[in-house]
């Protein structure tokens, strides 16, 4: 059994990790931790639905957590992992970081977008970007895994086959994305339900969202030229689920049948990507509480645009489920273990 620690147990992704891992046949949660003044506390007091789990959420103590674990999930806010991850790595623990702190390869780019000094930039070369559909072989040997963001997961998976085949122009990517409120974290959700629900609203548009450099970095690698995207995220009045509609200018004429075949071939061995038949488009309700990414395709011949619709559960394939998928790969388990 893999001994697992979840650090950041009080957040949405920490809660989701505990739910998934508590039913994982190959893993045992040996410690849950956070940094809060009222800890330690029995987990069932925090999450009544977990009353069958005999776990105490303790205050984070890195040496103590390391003694009890083989792998540490860091479900902590951006900038917090900068100090915590190196401590665990020095104690020879595998680290799966769900923040953005090790996703961006350039120290300067990270500091520009996250408005903070990257104090552990020596680890950026060691970090593996944890999108299994693109980097499975590298993930197998990862010590520090940078789990992808939720929006980037939908966008990169939606664009990758078309970009690999050079079907689209690198400078033509426009993304209109919708997320359930849980993507903003607990504080955001509390404020939203107090003042805004059931509102549907855009935010961080016109090149302001911090997931942009992550997406551009990965898409540029696929198409082998610089990519710039126009990205407009929105909050929708539901707790979880995410759907991105992506528009790209076609470089060549292609019919829907051939397009779907390209996507099916690209993802033919991927257990969690489902390419929908011609004429079908993804719905959030079909992926909620699963680790699937559903992708639908269409072509607007009038404007010469490829339209890709990509949908995930932002807390599962967009965060905790993908993190467990990566753990399975890192420890040589079946990839779907604990995620069915």
Question: pTM for the full model?
Answer: 0.95
Given a cut of 80, is residue 220 above it in pLDDT? Answer: yes
Banded model confidence at residue 133, pLDDT cuts 50, 70, 90: very high
Question: Cβ distance 298 to 256 under 8 Å?
Answer: yes
Secondary-structure breakdown of the chain: helix, strand, coil percentages, each rounded to the nearest 5: 35, 25, 40
Task: Tell me which architecture the domain covering 151-314 has in CATH.
Answer: 2-Layer Sandwich (3.30)
Label residue 215 exposed, middle or buried (CB < 10 Å: 0-12, 13-18, 19+).
Answer: buried
Which CATH superfamily is 2-126 part of?
NAD(P)-binding Rossmann-like Domain (3.40.50.720)
Q: What region does 56 belong to: left with phi over 0, alpha with psi -120 to 50, or beta?
A: beta
Question: Cβ distance 120 to 104 under 8 Å?
Answer: no
State mean pLDDT over 165-179.
96
Label residue 103 exposed, middle or buried (CB < 10 Å: 0-12, 13-18, 19+).
Answer: buried
State mean pLDDT over 217-238.
96
Give the Cα separation of 294 and 316 in Å (integer).
13
The neighbour count for residue 68, using CB atoms within 10 Å, is 15
The neighbour count for residue 132, using CB atoms within 10 Å, is 21
Q: Which secondary-structure segment (H or E) carries 264?
A: helix 256-266
* DSSP strand pairing (128-129 vs 144-146): parallel
Q: List, by residue number, the catalytic residues.
A: 150
Rounded to 5°, angle at Cα 166 from 160 and 168: 80
Q: What region does 55 belong to: left with phi over 0, alpha with psi -120 to 50, or beta?
A: beta
Q: Which residues of 27-63 are buried (b: 16+ CB within 10 A; e: fewer)?
A: bebbbbbbeeeebebebbebbeebeebebebbebebe
User: How far are the Cα atoms of 56, 126, 137, 174, 180 from residue 318, in angstroms, in the given order?
Assistant: 27, 22, 20, 20, 12
Banded model confidence at residue 131, pLDDT cuts 50, 70, 90: very high
The neighbour count for residue 157, using CB atoms within 10 Å, is 27
State mean pLDDT over 228-248.
95
The neighbour count for residue 205, using CB atoms within 10 Å, is 13
Domain spans in the chain, listed from the N-terminal domain onward: 2-126, 151-314
Report which DSSP code applies to 168: B
- What percentage of the chain exceeds 90 in pLDDT? 82
Of the candidates 143, 132, 165, the residue with the CA atom closest to the CA atom of residue 336: 132
Task: Please give the pLDDT value at position 38.
Answer: 79
Q: What are phi and psi of 176, to 5 degrees?
A: -110, 110
Task: Please give the pLDDT value at position 204.
Answer: 85
- Long-range contacts formed by 111-118: CB under 8 A, 24+ apart: 113/210, 113/212, 113/213, 114/78, 114/79, 114/210, 116/79, 116/82, 118/82
Give the Cα separation of 285 and 52 in Å (integer).
28
Give the Cα separation of 119 and 49 in Å (integer).
38
| Choice among 128-142, 172-186, 291-305 with the minimum mean pLDDT | 172-186
Given a cut of 80, is residue 187 above it in pLDDT? Answer: no
Given a cut of 80, is residue 82 above it in pLDDT? Answer: yes
Residues 6+ apart with CB under 8 A from 147: 96, 97, 98, 130, 319, 322, 323, 326
């Amino acid at each position: 059994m893999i001994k697992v620690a979840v650090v950041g147990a009080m957040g949405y992704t920490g809660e989701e990790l505990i739910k998934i891992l508590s039913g994982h046949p190959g893993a045992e949660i040996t410690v849950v931790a956070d940094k809060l003044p009222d800890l330690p506390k029995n987990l069932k007091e925090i999450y009544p639905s977990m009353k069958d789990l005999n776990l105490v959420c303790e205050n984070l103590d890195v040496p103590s957590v390391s003694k009890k674990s083989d792998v540490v999930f860091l479900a902590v806010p951006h900038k917090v992992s900068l100090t915590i991850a190196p401590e665990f790595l020095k104690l020879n623990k595998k680290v799966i970081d769900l923040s953005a702190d090790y996703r961006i390869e350039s120290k300067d780019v990270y500091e520009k977008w996250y408005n903070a000094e990257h104090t552990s930039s020596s680890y950026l070369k060691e970090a593996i970007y944890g999108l299994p559909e693109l980097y499975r072989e590298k993930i197998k040997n990862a010590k520090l895994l940078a789990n992808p963001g939720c929006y980037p997961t939908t966008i990169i998976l939606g664009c990758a086959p078309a970009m690999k085949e050079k079907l689209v122009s690198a400078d033509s990517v426009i993304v209109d994305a919708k997320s359930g409120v849980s993507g903003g974290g607990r504080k955001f959700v509390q404020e939203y339900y107090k003042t805004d629900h059931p509102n549907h609203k855009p935010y961080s548009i016109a090149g302001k969202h911090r997931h942009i450099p992550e997406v551009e970095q990965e898409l540029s690698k696929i198409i082998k030229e610089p990519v710039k995207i126009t990205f407009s995220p929105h909050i929708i009045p539901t707790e979880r689920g995410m759907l991105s509609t992506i528009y790209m200018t076609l470089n060549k004429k292609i019919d829907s049948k051939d397009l779907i075949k390209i996507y099916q071939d690209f993802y033919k061995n991927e257990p969690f990507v489902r390419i929908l038949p011609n004429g079908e488009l993804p719905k959030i309700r079909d992926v909620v509480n699963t680790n699937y990414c559903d992708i639908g395709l269409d072509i607007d011949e009038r404007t010469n645009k490829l339209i890709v619709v990509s949908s995930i559960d932002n807390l599962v394939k967009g965060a905790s489920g993908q993190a467990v998928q990566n753990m399975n790969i890192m420890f040589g388990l079946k990839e779907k273990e604990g995620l069915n």
